Amino acid sequence: MRITVVGFICFLGFSLAIQYTPRTLRSHLNLDIDITTFPAYTANHFHNRVDHYNESDTRDFPQRYWVNSRHYDGAPNPPIFLLEAGETDGVARLDALDRGIVNHLAQATNGIAIVLEHRYYGDSLPFKIFTQDTLRYLTYNQSLEDSVKFARDFHTLYHPHSASLNTAQLNQSRWIVYGGSYAGARAAHLRTLHPDLFFGGIGSSAVVHAEDDYWRYFDMIRLHQDGGCVNALSQAVQLIDAVLDLPLALPKHALKRLFGLSGLSDEDFVDTITYPLAFVQGENWDEEVSAHEFQSFCNATAGDGLVKRLLTFTPNFTLIPTCPPSASLPLGHAAYALVQYARWIDKHVATQLRAAQVRDRDATNADASAPSSMRAWGYQVCTQWGYFQGAPPVTAREAYAHRLVSKRLTLEQTSSYCLRDYNITHRPHIEEVNSLGDFQTHAHRLAFIDGSADPWREATAHSSRAADRLDSIGEPSIVIPKGTHHWDENGWLDRTQEPPLIRNVHDYAVSFVSSWLEERV
């Protein structure tokens, strides 16, 4: 594909002339979770320590949790399945508590299932504002100690909303901890660091490997998603980078205007248009909970239509009559992909940004230090976990040549908010996480479940960079074909009606956990 500068400028001008108007936007989105759609469980609160490492600091905070005791038959010391909520409002995990894997396990063993909210998320707030000073207690070790203290003290708590729950009979219960993604790493590390307390663990999509530059997120999408879609996207990205490389303002402005993103810097522009890729991890076997944005994007970008037929089958089409003959060029599929990419972003992203701009203008007293899951997780990323997602390095030749995001998404660009929002000047201390086991994390009665197409797989125990694992009842190792992010966490009340792919995973989990519970220690 050969594209001249003049020809591409004319092409952009033609596209804008028929369907786009100027916009001025800011580069952020409203991605709040609608927690009103989740099952109604009554919240309980446990007073946990703000600082587990300073005995003289007596401050505490109310940590929220929810209990599913409907399968508990009153027998002493039933198994307790702790679902770590991770980096979100704990309410978002209530569906899994109600009908997901921990419910299946509790049902099979007459056990109790619990969701424990993470410090600094939801209503489990040690402080009412998130400043550099108050966020310093948001460390991985502090949060792990929250779960340890909760599990140790649970049998002493009173639960007025769970009449059948006689906690005095729980002091010898066996705890099995479950989590997905970041919470999956927590499950693995709680099992390995506190084997006396956590009898077993299941890490689903458990990111046991922290990584500063996690460009592999997008490369996993390239390798495992629909070939036609990723090829079209890669070609469009090549065009975008070619335009942004030009030493001219006009084509850059025309390009951004085509996407409905006028006014953004080059860096914010290429960051914003990665939006549909973020939804790949949200795709799920259950259509009711699955994210559909990426498939919608693919259908638009790699589909068929008048523009595609026009650009593909009229190779010497002169885009604008006033353009010189040299502007006639074979744009083909790449140009079609770019136009459709722009139309999708304008419809699904730019409109959100315009609405966000209005909200920001109205909220004149908005406080950047107000508590939010996004601010809390951003701090954890900047201090310990990394996972900045950008373009692959030039040294990864195939990945770079077929990249799905602009080469301008460098590590410096993707991590720039750490200094801006938190005044953090150092790189994340990923060694504090990786020293806990990294890809080699393992223990008896510790299971790892991953999806073969999960963008996060390269940070899990089933990474291509990790040693192969043998599956056994003692250390189950499962990779769900074509699965993405912790597919096993959710389920249906009647697991016998689940699709065979997931039902088999849940049946296996019930089998190996039941076997664990029969062990004498």
The structural domains of the chain, with segments of one domain joined by +, span: 5-27+212-422, 35-209+442-517
Question: How big is the chain, counted in residues?
Answer: 521
Task: Kindly give, in sequence order, each residue whose CB lies less than 8 Å from that of residue 316, ignoring residues fewer than 6 positions away.
Answer: 328, 329, 330
pLDDT at 328: 35
pLDDT digits (tens, 9 = 90+) for 43-80: 999 999 999 999 999 999 999 999 999 999 989 999 99
| Of the candidates 188, 221, 222, the residue with the CA atom closest to the CA atom of residue 466 | 188
DSSP 315-368: TT--SSTTS-GGG----HHHHHHHHHHHHHHIIIIIHHHHHHHHHHHH-TT--T
Upper half-sphere CA count for residue 449 (Cβ side, 13 Å): 26
pLDDT at 369: 86
Is the distance from CB of 211 to CB of 430 less than 8 angstroms?
Answer: yes
* Helix (H/G/I), strand (E/B), else coil: 116: strand
CA 167 – CA 155 distance, rounded (Å): 5
| Of the candidates 196, 139, 121, 223, the residue with the CA atom closest to the CA atom of residue 433 | 139
Is the distance from CB of 478 to CB of 502 less than 8 angstroms?
Answer: no
Q: Which fold has domain 35-209+442-517?
A: Rossmann fold (3.40.50)
How big is the CA angle at 164 (ends 162 and 167), to the nearest 5 degrees?
80
Residue 391: C-alpha distances to residues 213, 276, 339 (Å): 9, 15, 22
Cα 117 → chain centroid: 17
pLDDT at 142: 99
Alpha helix locations (H) across 248-317? Answer: 249-258, 266-272, 293-301, 306-313
Kindly report the pTM of this predicted structure: 0.88
CA 117 – CA 137 distance, rounded (Å): 16
CA 265 – CA 269 distance, rounded (Å): 6
Cα 427 → chain centroid: 21
**Residue type at 237?**
V
Structure tokens at 260: 């409905």
pLDDT at 188: 99
Segments of the chain scoring below 50 in pLDDT: 1-6, 11, 13-33, 305-330, 358-365
DSSP state of 121: B
Residue 446 β-bridge partners: 201
pLDDT at 303: 66
